[in-house]
C-alpha cells in the first residue's frame, strides 16, 4: 500500500508556477494573472470596520443573504428574477470550481474542458473521480471551440462542459451567435454547463456575453472578486445558477468544503459592491490600454502573431523560432530578464505560444517588450 492517495499522486504542480519559482527578483514579470492594483479603499475600510463590529463568526454556509441578494441583482441584465437562493458565496473561484466538479461528477464520468486551459480544471475533475476530455480552442479560430469538435468528443459518459470566456490563457471571448451554438450543443446532450466567467467585468470592445439567462437552466456560473476588484489574496468568489436543485446540492457540498466563507470579508464585499460598483470599469479601462500597447508591440516583432483579445488580462501570441519550443523560448526570455509562461503549460495546443499577463504598468510593459524584441532578434539572427 502506498502512503498517499492516487488522487494526490496523480496531480502535478502547474507549469506557470514552475517558471515563477525559477525567476529572480529583478525580472519583468508577465507571469501570474494577478492585477497589480489594490482593492478599492472602501473594501479595506469596511473589512476593518466589520471586524471591529464583531463580524468574526461563522455565517450561513451559502453566505450573507444581503450579499447574495446584491450579487443576484447584479446579474439582472442577463437574467431577472434571481434572488439570494441562486447564489452561494465561496472562498474563491478556485473553491467554486472544485465544488462544482464534486457536485456534478461521478467516478467514471467525463467532463469536456477547453484546451489551452486554466490549469486547475483537469486536476479538479480527476480529484472528483472523473476524466477530463479536452476540446481545442485554436488560434486559427480566434480561440473559439468548433461545435464539430465538441460533437466528436462527447459520449454517453459526458456529464458537463466547462466554458471559460473571457479565457485564461487566450483572452478569447464569444459573440452571442457563438454562445448560442455552444449552448445548443450542451442542451442537445443534456450537459451541465459550468461557465467560468471570472473575467466578466474585464471586457474591452463590447458587452460581456454570459451563458446565464440564454435559454438553458442547467448553467452554473463561477465568479470571483479576485480579478475585478483586485482581491486575489482575499479568496472570495461565488457560484450562481437559476437551477434551484443544483444550488441546493452546491450549498450542501460547500458546507463540507469550507463550512462558510469569511464573515468580515463578506460584509466588506457587500459595502464594496454598493459603494465602488464602478471600480471594475476603472480596472478594465486600464487593462484595455495595456492590451493595446502589448498587442501592438508583439505584432511588430519578428516571428510573432498576436490576436487582439477582447477580454481578461492575457495575450497568447504564436511565437515561432525554428528549433525552439515554448518552454525553450520562455527560458531564453527569462535569462534576458522577462518572465512569461510557456504555452505548453496550458495544454498541447498551447505549444508554439507564450502567455503574457499584462498585469504590470505600461512603463514596465514597454521595458519588457523591448527585451522580448531584443531576444527574438537575437534568436532569429536579425540583430
Ligand X SMILES: Cc1ncc(COP(=O)(O)O)c(C=O)c1O
- For binding to ligand X (CB under 6 A), which residues are involved? 33, 92-94, 118, 164, 168, 196, 198, 224, 226, 232, 237
- Report the nearest approach of ligand X to the CB of residue 32 (Å): 8
- Is the CB of 232 or the CB of 375 nearer to ligand X? 232
- Is the CB of 283 or the CB of 376 nearer to ligand X? 283
- Is the CB of 75 or the CB of 314 nearer to ligand X? 314
Collapsed DSSP state (helix, strand, coil) of residue 186: helix
- Is the CB of 86 or the CB of 228 nearer to ligand X? 228
Collapsed DSSP state (helix, strand, coil) of residue 237: strand
- Report the nearest approach of ligand X to the CB of residue 233 (Å): 9
- Is the CB of 222 or the CB of 376 nearer to ligand X? 222
- Report the nearest approach of ligand X to the CB of residue 118 (Å): 4
Q: Which residue has the cell 471570472?
A: 198
- Report the nearest approach of ligand X to the CB of residue 224 (Å): 3
| Angle (deg, nearest 10), helices 41-52 and 263-275 | 140
CA–CA separation, 64 vs 351, rounded Å?
44
- Is the CB of 102 or the CB of 379 nearer to ligand X? 102
- Of 226, 216, 158, which Cα lies nearest the Cα of 187? 216
Size (the chain), residues: 383
User: What does the radius of gyration of the chain's CA atoms come to, in whole angstroms?
Assistant: 21
- Report the nearest approach of ligand X to the CB of residue 260 (Å): 17
Q: Which residue has the cell 456560473?
A: 221
- Of 155, 145, 146, 163, which Cα lies nearest the Cα of 100? 163
Collapsed DSSP state (helix, strand, coil) of residue 333: helix
- Report the nearest approach of ligand X to the CB of residue 323 (Å): 31
For 192, list phi and psi in degrees, rounded to 5.
Answer: -70, 140
Amino acid at each position: 500500500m502506498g502512503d498517499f492517495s492516487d488522487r494526490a499522486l496523480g496531480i502535478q504542480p502547474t507549469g506557470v508556477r514552475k517558471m515563477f519559482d525559477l525567476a529572480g527578483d529583478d525580472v519583468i514579470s508577465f507571469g501570474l494573472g494577478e492585477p497589480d492594483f489594490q482593492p478599492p479603499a472602501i473594501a479595506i475600510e469596511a473589512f476593518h470596520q466589520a471586524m471591529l463590529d464583531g463580524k468574526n463568526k461563522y455565517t450561513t454556509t451559502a453566505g450573507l443573504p444581503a450579499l447574495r441578494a446584491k450579487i443576484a441583482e447584479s446579474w439582472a441584465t442577463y437574467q431577472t428574477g434571481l434572488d439570494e437562493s441562486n447564489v452561494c458565496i465561496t472562498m474563491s473561484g478556485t473553491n467554486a470550481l472544485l465544488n462544482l466538479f464534486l457536485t456534478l461528477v461521478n467516478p467514471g464520468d467525463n467532463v469536456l474542458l477547453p484546451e489551452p486551459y486554466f490549469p486547475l480544471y483537469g486536476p479538479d475533475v480527476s480529484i472528483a473521480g472523473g476524466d477530463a476530455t479536452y476540446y481545442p480552442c485554436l488560434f486559427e479560430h480566434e480561440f473559439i471551440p468548433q461545435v464539430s469538435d465538441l460533437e466528436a468528443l462527447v459520449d454517453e459518459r459526458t456529464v458537463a462542459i466547462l466554458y471559460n470566456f473571457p479565457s485564461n490563457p487566450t483572452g478569447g471571448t464569444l459573440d452571442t451567435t457563438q454562445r448560442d451554438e455552444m449552448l445548443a450543443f450542451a442542451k442537445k446532450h443534456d450537459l451541465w454547463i459550468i461557465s467560468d466567467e471570472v473575467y466578466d467585468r474585464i471586457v474591452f470592445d463590447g458587452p460581456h456575453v454570459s451563458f446565464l439567462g440564454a435559454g438553458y437552466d442547467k448553467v452554473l456560473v463561477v465568479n470571483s472578486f479576485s480579478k475585478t476588484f483586485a482581491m486575489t489574496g482575499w479568496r472570495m468568489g461565488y457560484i450562481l445558477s437559476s437551477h434551484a436543485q443544483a444550488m441546493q446540492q452546491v450549498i450542501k457540498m460547500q458546507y463540507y468544503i469550507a463550512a462558510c466563507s469569511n464573515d468580515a470579508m463578506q460584509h466588506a464585499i457587500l459595502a464594496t459592491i454598493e459603494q465602488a460598483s464602478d471600480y471594475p470599469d476603472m480596472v478594465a479601462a486600464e487593462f484595455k490600454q495595456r492590451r493595446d500597447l502589448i498587442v501592438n508591440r508583439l505584432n511588430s516583432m519578428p516571428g510573432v502573431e498576436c490576436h487582439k483579445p477582447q477580454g481578461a488580462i492575457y495575450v497568447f501570441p504564436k511565437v515561432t523560432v525554428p528549433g525552439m519550443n515554448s518552454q525553450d523560448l520562455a527560458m531564453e526570455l527569462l535569462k534576458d530578464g522577462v518572465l512569461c509562461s510557456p504555452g505548453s503549460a496550458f495544454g498541447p495546443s498551447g505549444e508554439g505560444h507564450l502567455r503574457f499577463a499584462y498585469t504590470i504598468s505600461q512603463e514596465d510593459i514597454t521595458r519588457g517588450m523591448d527585451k522580448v524584441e531584443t531576444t527574438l532578434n537575437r534568436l532569429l539572427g536579425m540583430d
